[in-house]
Structure 1
Amino acid sequence: MTAPPSRVQTVVVGAGAAGLWAALHAASIGPVTLVAPDPAAGSSTALAQGGIAAAVAEGDAPSAHAEDTMAAGAGLCDPRAVDALTTEAPLAIEELRRRGMVFDEGGAPTLEGGHRARRVLHAGGDATGRAILRALVASAREERRIHWRPERAVALLVDRGRVRGVRLERSELESWRVILATGGATGIFGRRTGPDRATGEGMALAWDVGAALADLEFVQFHPTALDVSGQPARLLTEALRGEGAVLLDAGGERFMARFDPRGELAPRDVVARAIALVRDETGKVYLDAISIPNVAARFPTVAASCAAAGLDLAHDPIPVAPAAHYFTGGILTDLEGRSTVPGLLACGEVACIGVHGANRLASNSLLEALVFGRRAGLAPDGRGPSVTPTEPLGGPPRPGRAPLERVRGAADRYLGVRRSAEGLDAARSVLIVGGPADGTNAPALVAWLLAAAARRREESRGGHFRVDFPRTVDAWAVHQVVTREGWGKLPAAMQAALEP
């Protein structure tokens, strides 16, 4: 990497899979400055266990992958986005391999929930994200047109309605365009599988310059996170269930057949709600992986997490419960990553392109980072999407400076797997109240907008479940969009509606 010029072609904020992939492709058209701390210190990519989905096996096809993605998305996946994701997936895998990525068992894919075929590629057993991150960091450090700035972006620079750079903690950096790849916001929850620092800062940066956000009510809760008092909610990858692990109630009985004929391989939203209900009924739910041959060797990350809690994955049923895992909503973008503000792009979990609908299919997140990270990196300068709010915001543009622990407490209590009008109203009240001077705005803002979006959606769909509106309503087959000016709606096929 070389020193940056005074004004660079592209600034990429974030160095997980989406940010690194965007930077590598943006470097083909001009100099890039990558603004991010060390990704190994807390990237969501590094924590990804499940793998990366792509229809590369004999007998599988991108069209089948697309159908499974659409089915998991509960009627809200954008068809164009899904087509781009699934048809470009094999190309992304091929490029990863050219950059030195080696998958397990010669690249033979495995089965995960919601997939009809074995199409999930792994590396290091359950350390796929870490292996991909290692390969991408090595590629980025070899690219002479990428300069790394290990700082934090605190604001976007705007000139005459266009984003022109970023303000860092100690300086400013001008650029032709800025790509936000800062990850999601599951860090607003106390019980979470992602990194502590994923608290929605990228969404807040975009909000501050007037960008539209979308689908904020849809949060994916991973069904099987470690449920041991005093221990973090470590993820127990879905691949365990794909290889034969089963869910048991406190009495040792399987229960998933009550909720879905696919059993343990149903989509994540179905399994998460089932586990939450059965925990209420019987007190505990366990993941039993004892029947999987060589399970500890095949899933070393999970085995280590269990061992830290005094449990043996190969011999003990492991207590599990849902935990916040993935933010489906984010900065509204077109298929090239362009936001509603000129000069501002987004990709990865911070963005909302409509590809996941109301619920993400397992192992599509790393794939999304690559497919749409590449598109954002190569995006030509052009007009992005435009939305016109039709209803008022219904509250202050900024909630109070609620401290992070207050935000997490409210999110766990009111914004989790099961929601209600009473709880959502309580969450908004808690978040509007000002906190001490060392409070932080981004988590409170994102949590407040999540609560507001969930309160407005009077139905249940995908990652949003209302106990007071438990049915899916056809009239709500829309994406909710919000800006500082108010709320709007887009049809399920939102990319067609966003065309200039």
Structure 2
Amino acid sequence: MTSPLPAAGSDLFPTQSFSGADDIVIVGGGLAGLFCALKLSPRPVTVLAAAPLGDGASSAWAQGGIAAAISEGDTAEAHVADTVAAGAGIVDERMALLMAREAPARIHDLLGYGVPFDRDLEGKLSLSKEAAHSTRRIVRVKGDTAGRAIMNALVVAVRKTPSIRVLEGFVAETLITEGRQVKGITARPLFGGAANPISVPAGAVVLATGGVGHLYAVTTNPNEAVGQGVAMAARAGAMIADPEFVQFHPTAIDIGRDPAPLATEALRGEGALLINRAGERFMLKLHADGELAPRDIVARGVFAENAGGRGAFLDATKAIGSKFAERFPTVAAACASVGLDPATQPIPVAPAAHYHMGGVLVDANGRTTIDGLWACGEVASTGAHGANRLASNSLLESVVFACRIAEDVSQIHQVPRLLRWPERIGVEMVSTGNDGEIIERLRHTMTNKVGVIRHRAGLSEALGEILTLKSMTRSLPLLNMLTTAKLITAAAYIREESRGGHYRSDFPETDPHWQRRTYLTLAEAQAIAVRASARQGAA
């Protein structure tokens, strides 16, 4: 489960090959999926998306921007040094360097697709600074609208590309396999009342399904982020890496909305302060960098203030003031929706599930441990983020590895044809009628017991609850949610230390013994869950 990882080309990462159907299917309509589809052009490709393109992706909600070492004096090596420092000792430095070195080329690609990145008076790209970066290297759009602007540009490009076929309103459920070879997927239409899923045959499947935020009761992610890609891969036998590392954004706007709107980290980069109800700056007691400390430390600081009844607020009234709405329109609009003026009033904040550093294990070309299956974006675990993602590295990772997947598939894949439109297959959808109750129980269990602060007893109880909930449903979408929750919780249970986004109150120190990545199969997670819940029951 935590042994050294075999190198690419070993039995774990098989040499990819294709047989049978030769369509390329990308599951997910976010940044990683669309960028990969565009890079595969003019090869025909099918993109499956649960929501209309751009609407159900965390990418569109990203406010900070993309990290890239493109300013004079900045280097890829300096970018990697910051990434390694934030990643708490388990960053795969080879992957991080690869990502950082390819950043300028991917920024150029995005400009070519029409992304309107901010520029200064001389026409150069404007760069901002975010937490744990040693210099300004964040490429943004109108302050806090980078994600939406990037997605809008890519959606337009995809719609104009005749080789890309888009199936919107379909939720992928299962990978179709023969031995270690992926042969396609099954997906269920969201609308139209159809009882049966469709079968989409494929010679190559690229998972770009996003994150896991909605496994938690408080999250900044869109509703579609329920971890289905991780579960699909795990159920098919793929290795999962580092699932315990969930990043909680410290400054979700605490106004009772689900998903919670985000107060971008760029606000703290521009001087906004974290205070409690008494006006005290509490982060200075926790870290020398104060508000710009790594996200896990800030999240725990905010969590402690709220848990202690002192409240937590982001105060931008002095640093930004009257220019707030102009510089950060997305945050301003969220605040205005509840009658709050961030130019003159502190913003109430709370930690929220934001990003999953773990996911489906992939190599430098995005290959998973199953033949015919690739993964990119948040569903994948490249090792570049370690235990705690550096701000604005997520969009960069998405485009870098989506491009590398496109190149890898193109080198070994014959020019495909678009297969006939898929037909319905006889897999019955089973609903017990209590799925809503099960989802609510799962989300609260994950937040309360597998959240910002964890401990053995709570994790044991969570694993027992997940096993109980699994026995209550036969719904594939819900079983996928429970599967990913089990992987996260089992890995958190066995990692008896605190590191990055994983904090154990019963093991609060970092342990050198655990300075390694976690590798976990679904069978191993199940065994851990059974053992832990049995131990808890006997206690």
Matched, 1:330 2:359: yes
Alignment-derived partner of residue 441 in structure 1: 479
The residue aligned with 2:26 is 12
- Matched residues in 2 for 1:485 and 1:227: separation? 38
Counterparts of 1:80-95 in structure 2, within 5 Å, are 80-95=94-109
Question: Which residue of 2 is the match for residue 192 of structure 1?
Answer: 219
Q: Supply the AA of the counterpart residue of 1:252.
A: G
Aligned to 2:127, the other structure's residue is in SS state coil
Match of 1:430 in 2: 465
Q: CA deviation at 1:233?
A: 2.0
In the alignment, what sits opposite 2:180?
161
Task: Work out the number of aligned pairs and report it.
Answer: 465
SS in 1 for 2:275: strand
Q: Does 1:300 align with 2:333?
A: no
Once the two structures are superposed, the pairs formed by residues 22-33 of structure 1 within 5 Å of their partners are 22-28=36-42, 30-33=43-46
1:174-198, Cα deviation, whole Å (9 max, x unpaired) = 2221000000111100100001121
**Equivalent position of 2:341 in the other structure:** 312
Where does residue 389 of structure 1 map in the other structure? none
For residues 280 and 34 of structure 1, the distance between their equivalents in structure 2, rounded to whole angstroms, comes to: 43
Q: Name stretches of at least 5 consecutive residues in structure 2 with no aligned partner.
A: 1-19, 189-196, 413-433, 526-539
Contact 1:42-1:197 within 8 A present in 2 as well: yes
Measured in 2, the distance between the counterparts of 1:290 and 1:482 equals: 46
Counterpart selection for 1:465 from 503, 524, 530: 503
> Distance between the aligned counterparts of 1:109 and 1:471, measured in 2?
35
Q: Cα 1:413–1:160, aligned 2, differ >3 Å: closer, same or farther? A: closer
Taking only aligned residues, the RMSD between alpha carbons, in angstroms, comes to 1.9
Deviation at 1:280, TM superposition (A): 2.9
Q: Which amino acid aligns with 1:309?
A: V
Maintained 8 Å contact 2:54/2:155? no
User: Residues of 2 paired with 1:117 and 1:309: CA distance?
Assistant: 35
Shift in alpha-carbon separation, 1:346–1:436, aligned structure 2, 3 A: closer
Which moves more between the two structures, 46-55 or 439-448?
A: 439-448
Answer with 475-484 or 69-78: which moved more.
Answer: 475-484
The question of whether the paired residues in 2 share the 8 Å contact of 1:53 and 1:364 is answered with yes
Task: Tell me the CA shift for residue 161 of structure 1.
Answer: 2.3
Partners of 2:55 and 2:159 lie apart in 1 by 17
* Deviation (angstroms), 1:69: 0.5
2:48 counterpart of 1:35: yes
Any residues of structure 2 matched to 1:11-410 within 5 Å, and which? 11-28=25-42, 30-36=43-49, 37-106=51-120, 107-150=125-168, 151-169=170-188, 170-229=197-256, 232-291=259-318, 292-293=320-321, 294-380=323-409, 403-410=438-445
C-alpha contact (below 8 Å) 1:156/1:209 kept by paired residues: yes
Normalised by the length of structure 2, the TM-score is 0.83
Alignment partner of 2:489 out of 439, 451, 460: 451
Q: 1:10–1:33: 8 Å Cα contact kept in structure 2?
A: yes
**Distance in 2 (alpha carbons) for counterparts of 1:468 and 1:159:** 44
Deviations 1:457-497 (A, max 9, x none): 0000000000000000001011111113437xxxxxxxxxx
Q: Which moved more, 1:408-417 or 1:101-110?
A: 101-110
Rounded Cα–Cα distance in structure 2 between residues aligned with 1:231 and 1:34: 27
Corresponding residue number in structure 2 for 1:390: none
Structure 2: distance between partners of 1:232 and 1:24? 29
Please give the per-residue CA displacement for 1:245-280, whole angstroms capped at 9, x wherever unaligned: 000012101121111111111111111111112323
Aligned to 1:403, the other structure's residue is in SS state helix
Q: Which moved more, 1:272-281 or 1:131-140?
A: 272-281
Distance in 1, matches of 2:217 and 2:173, equals: 24
Greater mean deviation of Cα atoms: 58-67 or 168-177: 168-177
Residues 283 and 232 from structure 1, CA distance in 2 versus in 1: closer, same or farther, beyond 3 angstroms? Answer: farther
Runs of 5+ consecutive residues of structure 1 not aligned to the other structure:
1-5, 383-399, 488-500
Q: CA deviation at 1:335?
A: 0.7
Runs of 4+ in 1 over 4 A off after TM superposition: 229-232, 436-439
* Residue of structure 1 in register with 2:536 after alignment: none
Q: Report deviation, 1:57.
A: 1.5
C-alpha distance after superposition, 1:389-420 (max 9, x if no partner):
xxxxxxxxxxx988211110101111111001
Whole-Å separation in 2 of the counterparts to 1:138 and 1:130? 12
User: Percent identity of the aligned residues?
Assistant: 45
Deviation at residue 231 of structure 1 after TM alignment = 6.8
Distance in 2 (alpha carbons) for counterparts of 1:484 and 1:328 = 18
Q: Could you give the per-residue CA deviations for residues 181-228 of structure 1, whole angstroms, max 9, x where no partner exists?
A: 000111100100001121011111111211111101000000101123
In the alignment, is the contact (CA less than 8 A) between 2:249 and 2:352 conserved in 1?
A: yes
The CA deviation at 1:444 is 1.3
Preserved contact between residue 221 and residue 259 of structure 2 (Cα < 8 Å): no
Residues 62, 146 of structure 2: 8 Å contact kept: yes
Aligned partner of 1:481 in structure 2 is 519
- SS of match in other structure, 1:220: strand
- Please give the per-residue CA displacement for 1:64-97, whole angstroms capped at 9, x wherever unaligned: 1110001000001001110011111111101111
Q: Which moved more, 1:138-147 or 1:126-135?
A: 138-147
Q: What is the TM-score with the length of structure 1 in the denominator?
A: 0.89
Q: 1:247·1:255 contact (CA, 8 Å) conserved in 2?
A: yes
CA contact (8 A) 1:8 1:33 kept: no
